[in-house]
Amino acid sequence: MSIVLITAIFALVLAFTVGLLLGFFKQVFAVEVDPLVAQVREALPGANCGACGFPGCDGYAAAVAGRTTEVTRCAPGGKSVAEALAKLMGVNASAEDVVAVLACQGSKDHAPLKGEYVGVKTCRAAKLSAGGTKLCAWGCLGYGDCVAVCQFDALHMGEDGLPHVDYDKCTGCGKCIAECPQQILKKVPKDRLGSMVICSNRNPIKPMVKKTCDVGCIKCEICVKNCPEKCITMVNGIPEVDYSKCTSCGVCVEKCPTKVFKMLQYDVIVGETIGQIRPAKEPVTAEK
């Protein structure tokens, strides 16, 4: 019994001594923390998503406070956080809130499969092992890799086999964009006005486009020819819009024979079902 008691007393004395020594060395070797780092960290949303390119919010806060990176790199925080950081750092910031938009309408009803895929059910695996599962080589593969990496519950697979974005939750962090092997998720400013092509099929042969996806862009260039502002050009087989000129007149949306043009503020980012044209509205003039 005495041995047990002596051991217990020795253990308590040893623990007390070690605690005192740890406290002493902590004071002696303490590294002073820049209060600015704490202020920057407090302004960040705390998502720790890594979209800024740093290991979490702590790493980004240290980099901002050390003036080794921009104050506009926090995608989840968007414009408001960028402005708060700019105020703390005494700099000017130009940031905008962005979201991810799927540039594809190739649902299972519109884009046929090449055959039955037997393999790991991820988009990346299907792309690497079979070159994709659909006849359209550019379309969404539908296995939800983008959904799996979204930390904000902003992406869900629909019954049509395509991922759908909840724009109330999307922060524009870009993780889904980086994960998609087809590169068909695009980062778009949330308040952008104008039209966008919801298609990524770059096949230049019209019959092949129709064979692989009946809602794909057929390269007819009707949009280019009819745009009153001359703000649409063909780039690698896909019409692209110059938003500095676009006035949201909607002519491209009305003229497009396969309805690949959608008005962002009416049919896409507002949450309307992609592929369904809403009744015509009065044109919205975009700021130039």
For the segment 282-287, the average pLDDT, to the nearest whole number, is 42
Q: Which residues contact 191 (CB under 8 A, 6 or more apart)?
A: 96, 97
Lowest mean pLDDT among 45-49, 253-257, 271-275: 271-275
- Residue 159, both tokens: 């019954």
- State which amino acid sits at residue 272: E
Give the pLDDT confidence score for residue 282 in this predicted structure: 45
Section 25-40 average pLDDT: 77
- Other CB atoms within 10 A of residue 170 CB: 23
* 78-89 vs 35-43: helix crossing angle, rounded to 10: 160
Q: Is the pTM of this model over 0.95?
A: no
Q: What is the DSSP letter of 147?
A: H
Helices (H), 76-188: 78-89, 123-130, 145-149, 175-179
Q: Do 138 and 182 meet the contact criterion of CB atoms below 8 Å apart?
A: yes
Higher pLDDT, 203 or 284: 203
Give per-residue pLDDT as tens, 180-202.
999 999 999 998 999 999 999 99
pLDDT at 92 over 50: yes
And the tokens for 191? Answer: 């308040």
Q: What is the reported pLDDT for 31?
A: 62
Sign of the C-alpha dihedral, residues 72, 77, 78, 79? negative
- The pLDDT assigned to 192 comes to 92
Residue type, 114: K
Cα 8 to Cα 25: distance, rounded to the nearest angstrom: 26
* Range of weakest confidence among 1-10, 235-244, 276-285: 276-285
The pLDDT score that the predictor gives to residue 193 is 93
Residues 6+ away with beta carbon under 8 Å from 206: 218, 219, 220
What is residue 109's predicted lDDT score, i.e. its pLDDT?
A: 94
